[in-house]
Copies of this chain bind each other. A is one copy, B any other.
Amino acid sequence: MAQHSKNANDPSLDTHAHELYEALNQLVRIYQFRDRDRICCYDVSVTQCSALEVIIEKGPLRLQALAEQLFLDKSTASRVIDTLVRKDYVTRLKDPEDSRAILIEATTAGRKLFTRIHTELVEEQKEMIADFAPDVRVAATELLHRLAGAASQRMGVNTSCSTEKSSGPGCC
């Protein structure tokens, strides 16, 4: 059931797998998934891994920017960074443009770790969707995006619900 013809030699499979990974990541990030204190073999939690990803992909960035990307309070982001610094996956640099600010950058170890995790997960995803037709893959990814969007609204992220408290008729 739901098994279409095998398209193992489909060049868009990589893209689909990557988009799916991205969508799931976003879903998970919004849902603020609590770890089991490490992702199996890797000594980082899911939140830490998400933070590492943002830091690597968005270059050196400020704490506030990181917090926004992760939908976290800056205090929480600061403490996540504390842990990642302690584990030597990121470093705090002084921002030359603003001495109040810091720039967070991944260390070599951090990049190495993330590459390992990323590669492995994308590979896993690829296997998972290999037997789906391309349009189904796209649709499933789109669905995950929608789920993330809906959840973010429900959780009051970036909505009037979170900024104005107890003002409207029953929150959302």
Q: Is the CB of B155 within 8 A of A128?
A: no
Residue of B nearest to A117 (CB): B154
Question: In whole angstroms, what is the CA distance A20 to B20 when docked?
Answer: 17
Q: Which residues from B are CB-within-8-Å of A32?
A: 33-36
Known: A28-B33, A36-B32, A41-B171. A132 touches B143 (CB 8 A): yes
Copies of this chain: 2
A35-72 interface bits toward B, Cβ cutoff 8 Å, 1 = contact, 0 = none: 11001110000110000000000000000000000000
Q: Is the CB of A139 within 8 A of B150?
A: no
Does any Cβ of B come within 8 Å of A82's Cβ? Answer: no
Question: In whole angstroms, what is the CA distance A109 to B104 when docked?
Answer: 47
Question: In whole angstroms, what is the CA distance A82 to B124 when docked?
Answer: 38
Question: In whole angstroms, what is the CA distance A45 to B170 when docked?
Answer: 18
Residues of A within 8 A of B (CB): 1-2, 20, 24, 28, 31-36, 39-41, 46-47, 124, 128-129, 132-133, 135-136, 138-140, 142-143, 146-147, 150, 154-157, 161, 170-172
